[in-house]
Amino acid sequence: MDLELAGTIAVVTGTSRGIGLACARQLAAEGCRVLLVARGEAGLLAARDAILSAGGEAAILAADVTIDSSASAIVEAAVREFGGLDIGVANAGGSAGPREFDATTGGDWERAFRLNVVHATNLLRAAATRMEAGGRGSAIFIASVSGSSPQGSNAQYAAAKAALIHAARSLERNPI
């Protein structure tokens, strides 16, 4: 497949395993230079090595995306490592608490929204400035079917993914 991404620069958050790593590997296979972001450095190094040994280009940044300042640090790292930023994939996400509503706390709900929604919008805001400078850019938010069809448990996750989908739809009608 040629998606005409050769030479572009991408950031994917939550990239040491799972969907984020699969996404980063596919982008690298398309010739994209990819910044991998997660909290654990060991997982990032293994992910980077897998991409390098397949002939791709990747760099890593250990960061917690729930901390507001990480968004600008991520964009700065992409510029430092590769000279710009064209594609931002906000993939890191999860339930951030127990699945049963009675067991959750207000803090669990706040953490779910921070991880799934605030991280994505922070990254987009930080990346948009850089993308404007480069004259192009794409932002991708990884949501879940739970955001449109609640599964009956894990309500804080479903609500956060619904909010993420709504944020994307709002932004698409009101471009930056």
Ligand X SMILES: NC(=O)c1ccc[n+]([C@@H]2O[C@H](COP(=O)([O-])OP(=O)(O)OC[C@H]3O[C@@H](n4cnc5c(N)ncnc54)[C@H](OP(=O)(O)O)[C@@H]3O)[C@@H](O)[C@H]2O)c1
Binding site for ligand X (CB under 6 A): 13-20, 37-40, 43, 64-66, 91-94, 115, 142, 144
Q: Which is nearer to ligand X, 149 or 175 (CB)?
A: 149
Sequence-distant (≥ 6) Cβ neighbours of residue 67 within 8 angstroms: none
Q: Is residue 157 annotated as part of the catalytic site, yes or no?
A: yes
Could you say which of 157, 159, 160, 163 is catalytic?
Answer: 157
Cα–Cα–Cα angle for 111, 165, 157, rounded to 5 degrees? 35
Whether residue 54 contacts residue 30, with contact meaning beta carbons closer than 8 Å, is answered with: no
Centroid of chain to Cα 58: 15
How far is residue 138's CA from residue 55's CA, in Å, rounded to a whole number? 24
Task: Please report the DSSP string for 94-115 in residue order.
Answer: ---S-SSGGG--HHHHHHHHII
Q: Which is nearer to ligand X, 6 or 52 (CB)?
A: 52
Q: Which is nearer to ligand X, 91 or 121 (CB)?
A: 91
Q: How far is the CB of 72 from ligand X (least distance, A)?
A: 15
What are the residue numbers of the active site?
Answer: 157
